[in-house]
Amino acid sequence: MTPNKKLRLAPKHVYHQRLWKSAAFGISIMMVCLLIGILGYKFTIPEFDWYDSLLNASMLLSGMGPVIDAKIVLTNAAKVFASAYALFSGVAFISTIGILIAPIAHRFFHKLHIEDTNQD
């Protein structure tokens, strides 16, 4: 196998394909995570409609924190779900950022380590 220092950078169209694949994969992960949150909030807090569930799930998933009215009394199941979803959301968000940044970082580090063949 040829060392990576000898390989040239991938053409721009290949790099752009990698970016789009990473973006599509990251977005699909976030959509699944958001769906889990929406369903969890909807079925553990009966006072929430679908819009309240979407709002709370997306706020938690983005790291902003929940938006729960102080008048709503949370059941133990709702509290357990909200805390588990908060931990899950933090990991999912950071992992997705890593997936999105991976092709950019890969190209950057590959470019730094390519051997210069134009030496005199």
Whose tokens are 């790099």? That residue is 15
Backbone angles phi, psi at 54, to 5 degrees: -60, -45
Q: Model pTM?
A: 0.79
Distance CA 2, CA 79 (A): 54
pLDDT score at 68: 79
Residue whose C-alpha is closest to residue 54's, from 32, 38, 42, 72 = 38
Residue whose C-alpha is closest to residue 85's, from 41, 30, 52, 42 = 41
Spans of the chain, pLDDT less than 50: 1-2, 120
pLDDT score at 119: 53
Distance CA 67, CA 57 (A): 9
Cβ contacts of residue 33 below 8 Å, gap of 6+? 61, 88, 89, 92
pLDDT score at 1: 44
Cβ contacts of residue 115 below 8 Å, gap of 6+? 5, 6
pLDDT score at 54: 94
pLDDT score at 101: 94
pLDDT per position as a tens digit, 11-30: 889 889 999 999 999 999 99
